[in-house]
A and B are shown apart, each in its own frame.
Chain A
Amino acid sequence: GEDVEQSLFLSVREGDSSVINCTYTDSSSTYLYWYKQEPGAGLQLLTYIFSNMDMKQDQRLTVLLNKKDKHLSLRIADTQTGDSAIYFCAASETSYDKVIFGPGTSLSVIP
């Protein structure tokens, strides 16, 4: 089955760019997601990309997909202290199948 991997921790200075990386194993994954979880809260969908896309930009967020290497990244430009959270990469083969989550990357932003 699908397995999603991420580094567990990332620390950046306020104002710098953050890049969170993710790899997945199932080349059939068509729907790829980034979620954000703040302390004590549920997961919030940040952005998504379909496997027929290479890049997606949404304000400060840029998602890059390398389908050949099964590698997904999330870049946050001008990182702010409010971006401190856990970021989950997730993948799904279909629009109704279960979504598989990575372990989450804890992003710390240093003022």
Chain B
Amino acid sequence: DAGITQSPRHKVTETGTPVTLRCHQTENHRYMYWYRQDPGHGLRLIHYSYGVKDTDKGEVSDGYSVSRSKTEDFLLTLESATSSQTSVYFCAIRGQGKGYGYTFGSGTRLTVV
């Protein structure tokens, strides 16, 4: 969807290095979410934000932090990447349209070696 973009699309990084993934929206939505998708686990919520500088933890937040200094940007940081964080990461926004359903970004495939 053109209203939300994620960068980078692919990344390979080494164990122990910090990594930041970016989610950018042009819809001016208040709510933004970071999920990870893994085989056998489906989609699991990492962190979410309900406004600038307002964030909260999801079910798998250990090892991750987030920041939201502007409405349009929601950053996910892996403080010290581990192999268990190899995954596909999706950002989502939620607005009034479409029954308040999520609009997802195209995802970031992260490999930690």
Contact = CB atoms under 8 A, between A and B. Distances in A.
Contacts of A95: 94, 96, 100
A45 interface: yes
Interface residues of B, number: 25
Contacts, number: 57
Interface of B: 1, 30-31, 33, 40-43, 45, 48, 50, 58, 90, 94, 96, 98-107
Size class of the A contact interface (CB-based, 8 Å): 20 to 34
B99 A101 contact: no
Contacts of B41: 103
A43 B104 contact: yes
Contact of B98 (A43, A45, A104): A45
Contact of A103 (B30, B31, B42): B42
Given A31-B99, A96-B94, A104-B42, A42 B106 contact: yes
A85 to B, nearest CB: 14
Interface in A11-40: 31, 33, 35
A88 B43 contact: yes
18 contacts: A31-B99, A33-B99, A35-B102, A42-B104, A42-B106, A43-B90, A44-B104, A45-B98, A45-B103, A48-B100, A88-B43, A95-B94, A96-B31, A98-B33, A98-B45, A99-B94, A99-B102, A103-B40
